[in-house]
Structures are given as structure tokens and as C-alpha cells.
Amino acid sequence: EITSQKVSKILILIFIFSCGYFLLNRYFIILYISADCSSVYSTCGLSFISAGLVTRCSPFSKNVHSYTTKSHQPEYTEGTTLTSLIEDIEPLRKLALRYLTEVSDSRYIQLNLPSGETCLLLRDFIEWFRGFTDAEGCFSIIVNNAGKVGGSTSFRFEFSIGVHFDDMAVLTYIRDTLRIGKVKVRGKDIKKRIAFFTISTQSELEVLIAIFYRYNLNTTKHLDFLSLAQAYILYTKDSNTEYRIKLKSTILRIKDSMNSNRSYFNMPSKPAVSRNWLLGFVEGDGSFSALSYGINAYRFSFSIKQKDNNKAVLEAIKDFFVRLSPDSSIDYDKEGIGIWGDNSSNTLNFMIRRLKYIEEIVIPFFNSLTFHSKKHMDYCDWVSLFNIQKSGLHLVQEGKELIERILSQMNNNRLSTSGKPVIDRDILMSDIKKLLSISNYVIKEDGRIWIISENKYLARSNGSGGKPKGVAVLSPEGTIIKTFYSLTECGNFLGVTRKTITNKLAKGQAVLFEDRLCSLQYVDSIPSDID
């Protein structure tokens, strides 16, 4: 006869047996994975069940990756920092210690080369290289002899940067500074030839891994770097054939989740934008544009376009430029400084269009840095066009002709494959310098602009199709104290916001200046296109 007491004992025994079986099975699986080479991240402090159904993070690397049978994509848990993501991976930390050494001069870091030699790298160069890689770099896992019967268990790991062969000098600069890698040109058709900087030998690749372990990339290319680094560590751990046969599916799974195949893009921390990182990024993905509008006039902009999965990078760049401005009252989005999306192409475009900001912030910023690619010529041409229009020289015949010459060889028009006539750059720069030694504008005492070549005042549109207007501050006696070319400038002068100026103009209200009630009024002034 089964009593309630016996039932209780049976249930307790079943519970104890179930717990024991669960614990034993859990640790058996972990031990099996440790011995089985198909575990992707066991070397890196992570346990990975080969079926791809479950992951278990080690105590040293919490909440880093999770895999599913659907995509096998790495997932970075929100809130995880780059430090917690990378520095607990012991093999990568050891590579950084081996190849990078701190020195007393904080401007440099010592690079310990595989040859046994050492060299000092400027941290400014590392930052620039980091930015240029974020724009142009590529991390690849290549299957050797992929077509052979039975498939290959041999892999090659490669880092590369590809540019038009006219820009090969920038790759030579990288190679000569790092003292690793090769530069070569690929493509038989001269119109399609590309110059590549590549690193693929084991010892040199370890130097690169050490650099990007210590100095993280900002874009989602950081995720591709991590994939390559982790696969490389696993692959080079043991050269035993049996080990690599078991490892094959794991490496292929990592390879198939990289670059254009990547479907998960959560970055583990905020981008770190520095001056030289931004320069390198702009040399790869930046654009300096002068678009024609109206008669003999141009709209200027500086922009960086990215896929929408790099939105955080563009936001960090915007914040960087905002911090460069001493004017904290500007509504940047309304002033033509912001990020705009294109849903049809899933891209975002960070753009600066406000000409006063370009003149006072953007141009001085880039003038303070040293370009290393042909993008420097595009930048210089853009600044020349800007200064020609600012001086009113776009209205004189010499200026019109010079603008045409500049545009005819700017950006892709300067490439040897463009089919455009080659213009002597030394002569062009000399002619630009000569033209800019004069101005076609004379600023009168009341702030209005007189056009010498057209013998008339220059008018400014208020943006609403009405009468051309600027803003003047008048004394109680009615004399002009100062004329401004924008509402923001006027507000800064009076210590109030742009919105306050707009309201007072609309309502005809006075404004306090130097303990006196002064009035505001619209006046003819400088045009917005050279503001």
C-alpha cells in the first residue's frame, strides 16, 4: 500500500536525482567543449556549445556574445564596454604587451616589430590610422584552395585597405610608418586598377591585432576586427591537422558573419572621436562639396555619409563639432548642422551647411591638421572656392573662369582615369592666390556691402521670399549701433537667444543694451550665401 509518506520520499528522491543529473550533464558538456576544437570562443574565455543552441560566458567576460541557430551572429549586450569586451581575452592582451610598449614621452608609443627592431609611433598617427581604417579598412578570412575535393581546412587571415591607384602614396605612408605590410596594385585594366595595402603574414597580423586591441575602431568594422582576431587566435592555437578539421565549421561560421554578411550591429560602447581620428575618417569617407545654385553662386557643405548602423559614429562626430563652437545657444539642426537620413538607401548623412560655421570652425579645424591622402587637394580647392565667393570674386570674369578651372579637376575629375584634361596644379594655385589678393566687396560703415564690379549694394534674402534683410541695432536716437548678418549673431551680441530677436522684431519691441532701450530693424545686408 502506497502511503503519503512513501509518495513524499519518492518525490524527494526524484528531485535530488534530477538536480544531480542536470549538474552532471552541464559540466560534462562544458568539459566536452573544452576538449572539442569546435568551440569558437573557449580560448577567449567563452564557452560555445557546438550545436549553436546555447552559449555560456565565462566569469571574465560577462554578457558578451550570444548565438542562435538562426543567424549565428554575435550579439553585444547593451551596456557592455569595449574594455570588458576585449581586455579579458588573454591572448589578445598578451599580443598587445608583446608588440606595444609605453614610453616616457606620452606623444609616442613603442612598436616592437617581429624582426626584433623597435620604432616609435606618434599617437596622432595611430589615431589617424584608426580613422582611415574605419573608413577604408577590411578584415577578411580567406579559405585556401576552397574548391578542392572534400573542402579545405586551411585559412588565411588578411587586413587590407584599397584605394584608387592615384592615391597609392597614402598606402606607402602607412606601410613605411608601421614598417609592416605590402603595397601593390591589382587589375589589368588601367581604368579599374586599385592599390592595396595588405597584412597577411602571421607575425605582422599579430602586430595589427595588438594595435586595434589597444586602440579600438569606432564603426561596426570593430566587430569584424573582433571576429577576425578571435578566429585567428583559435586557428593558430594548434597546427595539428585533426584540430583544424574540427575547427573548420567554426571558422567558416565566423567568416560568414562578417562584413556584408553581418546582420547584428550593436556596438559595445560609444565611439571615441579625436582630432586625428576624424581627419583619417574624413580622408576616407568625407566630402567637401560646392553645388551651383542661382547665377554664379554656390552652396558649400562638408559631409560624411554612412550606413544607418553607424548612426552613433555620426552623432559622436556632430557632438565633436558642436564642442568646437564657442556659441552654445545655436540650434544646430535649424542652422544646417545635423544628420539627415535617406530611407531608400538606409544611409545617414552628417552635414554642415551653415557658411559662418564653415568659415569659423570647419576650415580652421582642418587647416590645423596634416592630410595624408589626395583628399587634401579636394579640401584646398573647396576652401579656394569658398574664399572666392566670400570675396565677391565669383561675380567678376576672372573669378568665373577660375572657378570653372577648379571644378574641372576637383574630386573624381582629378583622377587619371577620369578622361579629363590634366591641369597644371602649380599654375592653378598661383592664379588662385593672385585672385584672392583683392576683394570685390567693400563693407560700408552701416554694414552694407558694396559690389565694386557691379556698382551696387549687395542684398540678402531673408529666406522667406520677402525683401532682402539683415538686422540692425539702433540707439534711442535712431543711429545704427551695429549691423548683423544673422539673427544668431545679433542675439550673441545682445546676450539673448535667436528666438528672442525674432519675437522682438515681429512685435516691434525694444531690447536692453548698455542700460538703454534700443530698437531692432531689418536692413539690406550681406547675402546668406557668403554669410
Q: What is the DSSP letter of 359?
A: I
* DSSP-based three-state secondary structure for 46: strand
CATH number at residue 230: 3.10.28.10
407 plus 315 within the same structural domain: no
Cell numbers 595589427 correspond to what residue?
208
Domain boundary among 367, 383, 411: 367
Asked, for residue 503, whether it belongs to a domain, the answer is yes
Closest CA to 473 of 446, 506, 503, 451: 446
349 plus 297 within the same structural domain: yes
498 plus 362 within the same structural domain: no
**CA pair distance 130, 407, nearest whole angstrom:** 31
Q: Total structural domains in the chain?
A: 4
354 plus 435 within the same structural domain: no
**Residue 113 burial by Cβ neighbours in a 10 Å radius (0-12, 13-18, 19+):** middle
178 plus 250 within the same structural domain: yes
287 plus 177 within the same structural domain: no
Backbone angles phi, psi at 226, to 5 degrees: -60, -40
Asked, for residue 56, whether it belongs to a domain, the answer is no
**CA pair distance 267, 79, nearest whole angstrom:** 9
Cell numbers 542700460 correspond to what residue?
515
Does pTM surpass 0.75? Answer: no
Asked, for residue 266, whether it belongs to a domain, the answer is no
State which H helix or E strand residue 281 sits in. helix 275-285
Asked, for residue 23, whether it belongs to a domain, the answer is no
Asked, for residue 54, whether it belongs to a domain, the answer is no
**CA pair distance 43, 32, nearest whole angstrom:** 14
**CA pair distance 460, 272, nearest whole angstrom:** 40
Determine the pLDDT at residue 276.
98
Determine the pLDDT at residue 152.
61
Strands ordered across the beta sheet of 118-122: 100-102, 108-112, 118-122
501 plus 522 within the same structural domain: yes
Q: What is the DSSP letter of 261?
A: G
286 plus 333 within the same structural domain: yes
Domain boundary among 207, 228, 261: 261
Domain boundary among 343, 367, 391: 367
Asked, for residue 74, whether it belongs to a domain, the answer is yes
166 plus 235 within the same structural domain: yes
Determine the pLDDT at residue 68.
28
Cell numbers 606620452 correspond to what residue?
106
Q: How would you write the pLDDT of the chain (531 residues) with one tens digit per residue?
A: 555 566 566 666 666 666 555 444 443 333 333 333 333 333 333 322 222 222 222 222 322 222 222 332 323 222 233 334 444 478 999 999 999 999 999 999 999 999 999 999 999 999 999 999 999 999 999 988 755 545 567 899 999 999 999 999 999 999 999 999 999 998 878 778 899 999 999 999 999 999 999 999 999 999 999 999 989 998 888 888 888 888 888 888 888 878 776 756 666 668 999 999 999 999 999 999 999 877 778 999 999 999 988 999 999 999 999 899 877 666 666 567 899 988 888 899 999 998 889 999 999 999 999 999 999 999 999 999 999 999 999 999 999 999 999 999 999 999 999 888 889 999 999 999 999 999 998 887 767 788 898 888 876 544 433 344 678 899 988 888 888 877 878 888 888 888 889 888 888 889 999 888 999 988 754 444 333
Strands 182-186 and 194-199: antiparallel
Strands 194-199 and 286-293: unpaired
255 plus 335 within the same structural domain: no
201 plus 94 within the same structural domain: yes
Alpha carbon of 76 to those of 58, 266, 267, 268: distances in Å?
15, 6, 7, 6
Asked, for residue 18, whether it belongs to a domain, the answer is no
Backbone angles phi, psi at 23, to 5 degrees: -65, -45
Determine the pLDDT at residue 64.
29
Determine the pLDDT at residue 84.
40
Which domain covers residue 339, as residue numbers? 271-367
Q: Virtual CA dihedral for 172, 175, 181, 184, nearest 10 degrees?
A: 0
356 plus 379 within the same structural domain: no
- By the 8 A CB rule, do 367 and 351 touch? no
Mind spelling out the 3-state secondary structure of 119-179? EEEEHHHHHHHHHHHHHHEEEEEEECCCCCCCCCCCEEEEEEEEEEHHHHHHHHHHHHHHC
Determine the pLDDT at residue 470.
76
**CA pair distance 466, 509, nearest whole angstrom:** 21
**CA pair distance 504, 507, nearest whole angstrom:** 5
- By the 8 A CB rule, do 518 and 481 touch? yes
Q: What is the DSSP letter of 45?
A: T
